[in-house]
Chains A and B, each alone.
Chain A
Amino acid sequence: MKKLIAVLLPLLMSSSALSEEVIGAADGPTSVFVAEQSLLSKGLLVTAGGLCGVFLVLILFFITIKLMQKVLK
């Protein structure tokens, strides 16, 4: 499990950063990037970003619980 997290966490962090870049590009009235995307591309972006986000947050919860358990022992 620890190995899996070690592999997944950097991957998720990088994909999260990627979504932020993409989203950052879409800010403002001249959201050229967003306008150029097809509906399906937008859907895939939401799917990838959403799933990565959910896993990232829950991994952080997992780390939090483990840390609490160690500290409070």
Chain B
Amino acid sequence: MQEILVQLFSGVVDMFSVAGLKSLVMFIIAGVLIYLAIKKDYEPTLLLPIGFGCILANLPGAIDAVTGLKAPAALGEAGFLSVLFNAGIANELFPVLIFIAVGAMIDFSPLLKDPSMIFFGAAAQFGIFATFLLSLVLIPIIPGLVAEGDSDMVLKLASAIGIIGAADGPTTLFVANHFELKDYMGPISVAAYSYMALVPVIQPPVIKALTTKKERMIRMDYQEERCSKTTLILFPIIVTIVAGIIVPMSAPLVGSLMFGNLIRECGVLERLSKTAQNELANLVTIVLGITVGGTMVADKFLHPTTALILILGLFAFVFDTAGGVLFAKFLNLFRKKKVNPMIGAAGISAFPMSSRVIAKMALKEDPSNFILMQSTSANVSGQLGSIVAGGMVITLVSMLLGG
């Protein structure tokens, strides 16, 4: 009788074990994510599904009908989270679909009108590489993170941590998945999406530390050049070809982003453009979020690596911001017409959050200084820069593996 009861209520029994305690900690973490999403409005479209996926992944196990092993019902061989993971993340489908949706939402015309802003999209990727280097130094000296002497794993993990600085969820997932870091996908995506939501908190202090009030008050003329329909149509096609030739590994992401943008700009696919911007974006976001949350299993998540990923992810955003601002100050050494160095910080990929933060900061310093168009140009360049950086990291690190 007792055995039957124990089997019948195995979930309740499990909750009073060490594994149950770990599950409780994960429920609290999930609760924090859901709280941030609902109460603080921090990337709710992603943090809420991730939080809920985390709850599902840490429920007590049931005997899997297929494998006979004990696993949370949603995560077993035929569990829907496993099915979604294999269908959309293991084969990199979801990030690509998200990029089609993002491409359909982005208006590149501010960049096409003022293309000199494109360089900030490159400079603000500095954080990716600075964090990559820092991770390479820290991972081997912190005991228990990776097996001793496993330099390939150190390189892969450092790449995935560094790419948090892309400030771009799909690229982060794409790189982590490329290096088969399923166990780290939870903390990496939580760091990426949380810090993207925290851009208004992270960027201003870094910018203020690196600039003077006088620099922050620099006005910028907006020389609006005519941007023809043909330019808007040719841009995504040429960008795909150029990026695909120079960095072939970035082709899936650049290609899908630009395909979405071409649907938007061609003018004859209004219905598809709206579908990509709304239905496709919403559907993929729902399944992507809950699937990523499903990777946050207590045994893997409650590990020192998670703390390291969260700390270094923050560094990546700080270094990105600093890289962009310092590059703008460097450019000012050569330019007759100075740029407001805050624009450099908008070169990260967190769109449109970063451009709005920078424009607001400029208005706070001088209520008649409008730099929203310039910061938007830098911000959309950051989208391009982060994808190219992701492709470069995959290409270079893949070539160095096995050494």
Give the B-binding residues of A (Cβ under 8 A): 1, 3-4, 19, 23, 26-27, 31, 33-37, 39-40, 42-47, 49-51, 53-62, 64-66, 68-69, 72-73
A39 to B155, CA, bound (A): 8
Residue of chain B at shortest CB distance from A38: B151
- State whether A68 touches B225 (Cβ < 8 A): no
- State whether B399 touches A61 (Cβ < 8 A): no
**Given A53-B247, A54-B388, A40–B137 Cβ distance below 8 Å?**
yes
- Taking chain B's interface residues, is the majority helix, strand, or loop, or is none over half, making it mixed? helix
A49 to B129, CA, bound (A): 10
Residue of chain B at shortest CB distance from A35: B403
Is B396 in contact with chain A by the CB < 8 A criterion? yes
> Interface 1/0s, chain B 103-130, versus A by CB < 8 A?
0000000011001101101100110111
- State whether B334 touches A57 (Cβ < 8 A): no
CB distance from B351 to the nearest CB of A (A): 16
- State whether A62 touches B246 (Cβ < 8 A): no
Further 11 A-B residue pairs, CB within 8 A, beyond A4-B331, A46-B132, A51-B126: A26-B403, A31-B403, A39-B154, A40-B136, A46-B400, A50-B129, A51-B122, A62-B119, A65-B115, A68-B231, A69-B115
**Given A46-B129, A68-B235, A57–B242 Cβ distance below 8 Å?**
yes
Q: How large is the interface on B (under 10, 10 to 19, 20 to 34, 35 or more residues)?
A: 35 or more
- State whether B133 touches A72 (Cβ < 8 A): no
Residue of chain B at shortest CB distance from A73: B226
- State whether B234 touches A58 (Cβ < 8 A): no
- Among A34, A47, A59, find the residue whose CB has the most chain B CB atoms closer than 10 A: A47
Give the A-binding residues of B (Cβ under 8 A): 111-112, 115-116, 118-119, 121-122, 125-126, 128-130, 132-133, 136-137, 140, 151, 154-155, 158-159, 225-226, 228, 230-231, 234-235, 238-239, 242-243, 246-247, 331, 334-335, 381, 384-385, 388-389, 392-393, 395-397, 399-400, 402-403
A20 to B234, CA, bound (A): 29
**Given A34-B403, A42-B155, A45-B396, A54–B331 Cβ distance below 8 Å?**
no
A5 to B310, CA, bound (A): 37
- Among A46, A54, A60, find the residue whose CB has the most chain B CB atoms closer than 10 A: A54
- State whether A1 touches B335 (Cβ < 8 A): yes
- State whether A53 touches B392 (Cβ < 8 A): yes
CB distance from A2 to the nearest CB of B (A): 10
Residue of chain B at shortest CB distance from A7: B334
- State whether A69 touches B225 (Cβ < 8 A): yes
